[in-house]
Chain A
């Protein structure tokens, strides 16, 4: 099993005719993802990469039965694209776009409250259930089907964790990048709840970083309600306060959001916390022995 996406997922690509959209649609097709439609307003009725292109997500849902969307549209239009997909009835929206203004995301998330729709990202590599479906830009080949769930605020650091886990022959049930922005869709707790119900997920790796309080909130949930072993690494132990470390959301503001606080909260919740990023795989082994 896996969470959110599997072999039944039918994907519509918003912004399919752009450079990024084209490149990653091909990669998703090669991986075996069912890309059933594309959307580029004004190009409806054409085909691109053997996929029918529509003017709106609503059309793609109606004509092709799309139930998930992935967004490659420019930052200033991306929040609107998220709302369009949610309004069309898509159950899962993955927003790859980086650099969306915060106020736009506040609006989009408020819009989503009324909808039955999971948002992943923005500023995420996406989500993958290895061997079944990949929605995003992560390299498919480093993943192997397995029993470890991964939730991460980072991109390449997630690949590092995936690689360590794959090399220890565990594999992943589903790996989700929640995104590096201050305001994102699904966060640690919502995903932990889904992994809790997933029979085939044995343990979860939670990769956090400085900024915000999402890790502390997750720690409270894990302590009270999450029965499976959790391994964690928090990036930014050496990050200076008040500086934005690449991700818009990675900043220690007013002395809050340090790696130390987060690691302590997770340790107190019984999580196996890796101090060094090289120990993530080892900690999984420890947690499962």
Chain B
């Protein structure tokens, strides 16, 4: 799960990670009040989930409270387009008003889970303020790493080692070590999957601040963090994807026009792939999961056809524990209740596949049966092009 910058900073503040003074608001006049309190010079930062906000006009330095109000007026309600939002952009609902700090150095600190090492890794780089993937690809020797021992946690000597490598000295060094230790504590305590401070700011006076903050969380651990779960902003998600998640369906919208409904994530991806190999493009990823019921088939269908780009639907079910006859009943019911009028190819294999096929044939429903995945894909692609 992703959250906004201001929310990440609220969490960091709780863990005593130093952040700039600031407040979030959805009102231009309140932005002015905040500027009067912490300014007069402040930075206005549009709160959307995507990165690259600065280049898109979503981060502005202003000199007076009056100017803060004027710029906030423009920013709130604007559609911000960055390289991460796609051409349609994102609506800015809130802005973060922060004190403007002078910048001596911009560094980078990031924490993620390293899958191969099966441990968290704390990364630091002197090249902050730019995209870290770029640094990793071009000058990997400028990224320093410390792996966390799962039994002992992240240790002070590791934080010191990183702070030295970043070239921090004196009081900045002390602040840096504390910053990295506390940041790891925030990461671990919230079951985060990413904590990224880019840039980590060192001011002329040598103070260390999280100028930007990005945190993602392990979806599987959200139940033990109700406060973080509440930070989810459904407006930042695709409406169909948000709707699907209510029914525990894994749905991801894509650019093609062949809708697909599959049981199992691997088979769902493979079905998308075979559609491409047959000359079409999938409109979505949709895994109805292991415990398919008539109800979940119906919900899945509803979401599938809500996407206006979908011209035909491919249903691929390999019954294991799931019985194909149950799925067939669900398909018939959903098709009738939703009065589906797009062409449909259905492939049922595995447990009770024969019974399932009989149910579909006897239903009066118009659909094209297929015996194999290949046949299903080859049938659906021309249908979607009609």
CA distance A24 to B319 in the complex (A): 15
Among A3-11, A106-114, A168-176, which stretch is in contact with chain B?
A106-114
- A217 is an interface residue with CB less than 8 A from chain B: yes
Contact A160 B193 (CB under 8 A): no
CA distance A89 to B291 in the complex (A): 33
Interchain nearest-CB distance for A164 vs B (Å): 9
- A289 is an interface residue with CB less than 8 A from chain B: no
* Residue of B115, B274, B351 touching A139 (CB-CB under 8 A): B351
Q: Which of B316-335 contact A (CB under 8 A)?
A: 318-321
Contact A102 B318 (CB under 8 A): no
- A212 is an interface residue with CB less than 8 A from chain B: yes
- A77 is an interface residue with CB less than 8 A from chain B: no
- A240 is an interface residue with CB less than 8 A from chain B: yes
- A199 is an interface residue with CB less than 8 A from chain B: no
CA distance A106 to B149 in the complex (A): 10
A contact residues around B318 at 8 Å (CB): 156, 159-160, 163
* Residue of A76, A243, A276 touching B223 (CB-CB under 8 A): A76
* Residue of B133, B151, B281, B372 touching A110 (CB-CB under 8 A): B151
B contact residues around A125 at 8 Å (CB): 320
- B69 is an interface residue with CB less than 8 A from chain A: no
- A131 is an interface residue with CB less than 8 A from chain B: no
Residue of B nearest to A254 (CB): B133
Looking at A183, A249, A250, A276, the one whose CB has the most chain B CB atoms below 10 A away is A276
Residue of A nearest to B222 (CB): A101
* Residue of A141, A155, A213, A238 touching B264 (CB-CB under 8 A): A155
CA distance A255 to B132 in the complex (A): 12
Interchain nearest-CB distance for A231 vs B (Å): 14
B contact residues around A254 at 8 Å (CB): 133, 136
- B315 is an interface residue with CB less than 8 A from chain A: no
Contact B220 A75 (CB under 8 A): yes
- B287 is an interface residue with CB less than 8 A from chain A: yes
CA distance A167 to B263 in the complex (A): 21
A contact residues around B119 at 8 Å (CB): 106
CA distance A212 to B114 in the complex (A): 9
Looking at B250, B265, B272, B318, the one whose CB has the most chain A CB atoms below 10 A away is B265
- B267 is an interface residue with CB less than 8 A from chain A: yes
- B235 is an interface residue with CB less than 8 A from chain A: no
* Residue of B136, B193, B267, B277 touching A275 (CB-CB under 8 A): B277
Contact A180 B273 (CB under 8 A): no
- A33 is an interface residue with CB less than 8 A from chain B: no
CA distance A209 to B271 in the complex (A): 13
Knowing A137-B321, A155-B290, A277-B274, the reply to whether A212 touches B350 (Cβ < 8 A) is: no
Knowing A236-B273, A238-B254, the reply to whether A213 touches B115 (Cβ < 8 A) is: yes
Contact A159 B350 (CB under 8 A): yes
Knowing A156-B263, A157-B270, A180-B265, the reply to whether A245 touches B220 (Cβ < 8 A) is: no
Residue interface mask B54-84, A partner, CB < 8 A = 1: 0000000000000000000000000000000
Could you count the A-B residue pairs with CB atoms below 8 Å apart for me: how many are there? 174
Contact A183 B266 (CB under 8 A): no
Q: How large is the interface on B (under 10, 10 to 19, 20 to 34, 35 or more residues)?
A: 35 or more
B contact residues around A245 at 8 Å (CB): 250, 252, 265, 268-269, 285
Knowing A110-B150, A212-B116, the reply to whether A278 touches B374 (Cβ < 8 A) is: yes
Contact A237 B276 (CB under 8 A): yes
Looking at B220, B290, B349, the one whose CB has the most chain A CB atoms below 10 A away is B220
Contact B320 A155 (CB under 8 A): yes
- B146 is an interface residue with CB less than 8 A from chain A: no
Q: Which of A217-250 contact B (CB under 8 A)?
A: 217, 233, 235-240, 243-250
Knowing A209-B269, A213-B116, A233-B270, the reply to whether A139 touches B319 (Cβ < 8 A) is: yes
Knowing A106-B119, A137-B320, A275-B277, the reply to whether A243 touches B270 (Cβ < 8 A) is: no
Interchain nearest-CB distance for A186 vs B (Å): 13
* Residue of B254, B266, B274, B321 touching A278 (CB-CB under 8 A): B274
Residue of B nearest to A110 (CB): B150
Contact B274 A156 (CB under 8 A): no
Q: How large is the interface on A (under 10, 10 to 19, 20 to 34, 35 or more residues)?
A: 35 or more
- A152 is an interface residue with CB less than 8 A from chain B: yes
- A56 is an interface residue with CB less than 8 A from chain B: no
- B340 is an interface residue with CB less than 8 A from chain A: no
CA distance A278 to B271 in the complex (A): 10
Knowing A233-B270, A238-B254, the reply to whether A101 touches B264 (Cβ < 8 A) is: no
Knowing A110-B151, A255-B133, the reply to whether A102 touches B116 (Cβ < 8 A) is: no
B contact residues around A236 at 8 Å (CB): 269, 272-273
Contact A246 B268 (CB under 8 A): yes
A contact residues around B285 at 8 Å (CB): 239, 243, 245-246
* Residue of B151, B221, B290 touching A102 (CB-CB under 8 A): B221
CA distance A277 to B223 in the complex (A): 36
* Residue of B120, B188, B220, B273 touching A100 (CB-CB under 8 A): B220
Contact B266 A158 (CB under 8 A): yes
Q: Which of B146-172 contact A (CB under 8 A)?
A: 150-151
Residue interface mask B283-327, A partner, CB < 8 A = 1: 001010010000000000000000000000000001111000000
- B233 is an interface residue with CB less than 8 A from chain A: no
Residue of B nearest to A155 (CB): B264
User: Can you spell out 9 A-B residue pairs with CB atoms less than 8 angstroms apart?
Assistant: A103-B218, A139-B321, A157-B264, A157-B267, A159-B320, A238-B281, A239-B269, A245-B252, A277-B373
Residues of B within 8 A of A (CB): 113, 115-116, 118-120, 133, 136, 150-151, 188, 191, 193, 218-221, 223-224, 250, 252, 254, 262-277, 281-282, 285, 287, 290, 318-321, 349-351, 372-374, 377
Closest 10 A-B residue pairs measured CB to CB? A154-B266, A246-B265, A156-B264, A157-B266, A101-B221, A278-B374, A235-B269, A277-B270, A110-B150, A156-B267
Q: List 9 additional contacts besides A102-B220, A103-B218, A139-B319; criterion CB under 8 Å.
A: A23-B321, A101-B191, A109-B150, A142-B350, A156-B266, A182-B115, A211-B115, A239-B285, A246-B264
